[in-house]
Homo-oligomer: A and B are copies of this chain.
Amino acid sequence: MREITYVEAVREATDQLMQSDPDVLIYGLDVDDPKAIQGTTAGLLAKYGARRVFGTPLSEDAMTAAGIGMAMAGLKPIHVHIRMDFLMLAMNQLVNLGAKAHYMYGGQTSVPLTIRAMIGKSWGQGAQHSQGLYAQLMNVPGIRVVAPTTPYDAKGALIAAVREPNPVLYVEQRLLHFTKAAVPEAMYELPLGKARIMREGTDVTIVGVSYMALEAYRAAQYLEDIGISAEVIDPIWLSPLDHETILTSARKTGRLLAIDNGWSTCGAAAEILACMAEAEWSDRLPKLARLGFAPTACPPSPVLENLYYPNARTIAAKAKGMVTGIADDWLPEERRDLREMEFRGPF
């Protein structure tokens, strides 16, 4: 199968959605500009025109409200935020209207709105261009949250999101944009609320959210080097969350480490641990742990930024401690083939 980037997968999914459904449109700051949101909207304006592909004023609150209004009228808008941080301007509409309209209007209306929001990382983007705030919407019933990691899932999740008759927050991590993988040309959808086992293992389960699924996958390779077998799960959907798949794995390995792509206090990792904690366990005591961004705003200085994020090696170290029961200061030697990708913009 041909390999394409995450960017191209998102672009292609959008193109096919717009092609196949005249109610689909895409809008948001700069979706129609020459840089076309990292290329994810490239060519759409020329193909579908300014009615279906339009940039907006800097007015996130009203533009979110407008998306909800359009969706109530039966359109299927995709609203793009080049930074998830800016979603904080949209919370009133998403929480108080979008997530509630179907219920509080007794089922008389619905809001098939997709919100694409990107998490920044690296190159000193700093405190306000780096946040993974999706857990704040996991907290709210009435809205779905999906965070695809691979180009394959990026395409299938976007198609599922736009066809979903409820609001969906579609989370992208910008480092993922450059990854490449096999992606079918035809349209397909990910099943709602289904996690993916990226790698099977027996000693410890590692669940990684969004980009952290890749880091977890790399961590499993470091662990393999020292004879530890890690099962890696990408939940893909954070709301609804696939408790079953995660629980089955944790029951098998007896250990679960959840890696957030944001702060883990009241985060996705907290939710995963809470679900595990509530489950029925026979006699074997499961070990449960989580990692997330350091509990502070993201510092731009490269030396501090490095310390801020979990990465394959710190994840491996944590998992090893869980398996061996010994918390030492072991860290694997960095393997060149498992290095994090570099990011130097565009911003």
Chain B residues with Cβ below 8 Å from A269 are 274
Among A29-37, A98-106, A216-224, the stretch in contact with B: A98-106
Chain B residues with Cβ below 8 Å from A266 are 135-136, 138-139, 266-268, 270-271
CB distance from A11 to the nearest CB of B (A): 29
Q: Count of chain A residues with Cβ under 8 Å from any Cβ of B?
A: 51
**CB of A306 within 8 Å of the partner chain:** no
Chain B residues with Cβ below 8 Å from A295 are 141
Q: A265 contacts which of B89, B139, B264, B289 (Cβ < 8 Å)?
A: B139
Question: A220-237 vs B: 1/0 string, CB under 8 Å?
Answer: 000000000000000000
Most B C-beta atoms less than 10 A away, residue of A263, A266, A274, A278: A266
| Contact A100–B128 (Cβ < 8 Å) | yes
**CB of A276 within 8 Å of the partner chain:** yes
| Contact A96–B92 (Cβ < 8 Å) | no
Interface residues of A (CB under 8 A from B): 61, 85-86, 88-89, 91-92, 95-96, 99-100, 103-104, 126-128, 131, 133, 135-136, 138-142, 239, 262-271, 273-274, 276-278, 281, 283, 285, 288-290, 295-297, 299
| Contact A274–B290 (Cβ < 8 Å) | yes
A-B pairs with beta carbons under 8 Å apart, 13 shown: A88-B92, A89-B92, A136-B136, A138-B266, A139-B265, A139-B266, A141-B296, A142-B296, A271-B274, A273-B277, A274-B290, A278-B288, A278-B290
CB distance from A303 to the nearest CB of B (A): 15
CB distance from A89 to the nearest CB of B (A): 5
Chain B residues with Cβ below 8 Å from A268 are 266
CB distance from A110 to the nearest CB of B (A): 14
A299 to B103, CA, bound (A): 8
